[in-house]
Amino acid sequence: MRTCWQAALVAGALMASSFGAAAQDWPDRPIKVVTPLAPGGAADILVRTVGNELTKNLKQQVIVENRPGGGGGLAATTVQRSAPDGYTLLLGSPQTQFIAPLLTKNVSYDPISDFTPITVAGELPICLVVPTTFPASNIKEFIAYVKANPGKLTYGSSGTHSNHHLAGEYFKAVYGLDMVHVPYRGGNPAMTDLLSGQIPVLFATLSTTLQYIDSGKIKVLGVVEQKRSSRRPEIPTINEVVPGFIMPITWLGFLGPAGMPAALTQKTHTEFVRAMTAPDVRKQLEASGFDVVWSKSPEEFTSLLRSGLEDYRKIKTQAHLQAE
């Protein structure tokens, strides 16, 4: 019996030693970050900006692999099935960790236990915007106008079961409104149709709308989260004007597959935070509409994931959304 225990202790020590060596040597080859969105959007800006800084710091290339599809599930599944060695990571979001598991049938991963959270990388406020000709200049007037015209207005989003879509459906449910959803393949095509008059209302990422707000081509009525954007504190939240509606913050963050050793996870966290907080990187991201934030530890990110999943379960129920 003692021999068995001794063997187990030796095996455990060897395993711990190998994990420590893996963390010490990481990275000794290129790192791949899989993103669930197509090139050119806000997520792509963040991952490539941070990736360039990591490449400089670590002397190893950071490769971005765009794998859209499955409501974010394709990218998440790719990382879930990868080796937990720190060389294949996910640019995750509420889309991959909450919405796809709750609203897409046959998702094969658990959003918490199948991943190793590393750090949040930024927040992307979502806002409600309308053309300058829209007959409402604030959220109270907007709600009154929609109620006076039930079923006559459409609103755009970056796609079915996107955060923008959920914001729209939850908004309708909270205030008892009747608007028809028009999904697009991304925020930019939706913005194009808003500007051309094809749709009168759009829920979009603040970074997508900033240049048009600043040029006076559209009106912003409010942001959907509980707090104002640190980049545009003059824009009110919808809830502070008409209480009752608050969407969870839309974040982007980095995760690995489940089973990454603690030492490797901590080293990865340290390097990603160092890259994100570099002055030039922060400046670039903030100019693109991000609120730059990070997790104090991987455990803090884990707590955010657990609470966020529960928040989205409630939204799914209150907005009467069904998995498809």
- Here the CATH number for the domain that contains residue 174 is 3.40.190.10
- Are residues 189 and 203 both part of a single domain? yes
DSSP 168: H
Q: What is the mean pLDDT of residues 249-259?
A: 96
Q: Please choose, from the candidates 300, 305, 298, the residue with its C-alpha nearest in 3D space to the C-alpha of residue 265.
A: 298
**Amino acid identity for residue 53 in this structure:** E
- Are residues 44 and 101 both part of a single domain? yes
Q: How confident is the model at residue 20, as a pLDDT?
A: 53
Determine, yes or no, domain membership for 186: yes
Q: Please choose, from the candidates 261, 155, 164, 147, the residue with its C-alpha nearest in 3D space to the C-alpha of residue 198.
A: 155
Q: How confident is the model at residue 15, as a pLDDT?
A: 47
Domain end call among 241, 259, 279: 241
Q: Please choose, from the candidates 164, 170, 54, 209, the residue with its C-alpha nearest in 3D space to the C-alpha of residue 118.
A: 54
Contacts made by residues 145-149, CB under 8 angstroms, sequence distance 24+: 146/177, 146/178, 146/179, 147/175, 147/176, 147/177
Q: How confident is the model at residue 60, as a pLDDT?
A: 97
315 touches 102 (CB < 8 A): no
Q: How confident is the model at residue 68, as a pLDDT?
A: 85
Residue 79 has pLDDT above 50, yes or no: yes
Q: CB 153: neighbour CB atoms within 10 A?
A: 18
Domain limits for position 89:
29-123+250-318
- Are residues 181 and 158 both part of a single domain? yes
> Could you give the 3-state DSSP secondary structure of residue 42?
helix
Residue 1 has pLDDT above 80, yes or no: no
Domain end call among 241, 261, 293: 241
Determine, yes or no, domain membership for 323: no
Residue 18 has pLDDT above 80, yes or no: no
Q: How confident is the model at residue 38, as a pLDDT?
A: 76
> What is the pTM (predicted TM-score) of this model?
0.87
Determine, yes or no, domain membership for 66: yes
- Measured CA to CA, the distance from residue 302 to residue 295 in angstroms comes to 9
Residue 176 has pLDDT above 90, yes or no: yes
Q: How confident is the model at residue 22, as a pLDDT?
A: 63
User: 112-126: per-residue pLDDT in tens?
Assistant: 999 999 999 999 999
Determine, yes or no, domain membership for 19: no
Determine, yes or no, domain membership for 225: yes
Q: How confident is the model at residue 72, as a pLDDT?
A: 87
Rounded to 5 degrees, what angle do the CA atoms 223, 242, 207 make?
A: 5
Q: Please choose, from the candidates 85, 88, 121, 142, the residue with its C-alpha nearest in 3D space to the C-alpha of residue 263.
A: 85
Q: How confident is the model at residue 21, as a pLDDT?
A: 57
Q: How confident is the model at residue 287, as a pLDDT?
A: 85
- Are residues 216 and 153 both part of a single domain? yes
- Measured CA to CA, the distance from residue 182 to residue 21 in angstroms comes to 52
139 touches 242 (CB < 8 A): yes
Q: How many domains does the chain fold into?
A: 2
Domain end call among 241, 260, 281: 241
- Are residues 153 and 118 both part of a single domain? no
151 touches 178 (CB < 8 A): yes
Instruction: Report the mean per-residue pLDDT for the chain.
Output: 91
- Are residues 182 and 282 both part of a single domain? no
User: 263-289: per-residue pLDDT in tens?
Assistant: 999 999 999 999 999 999 999 998 888
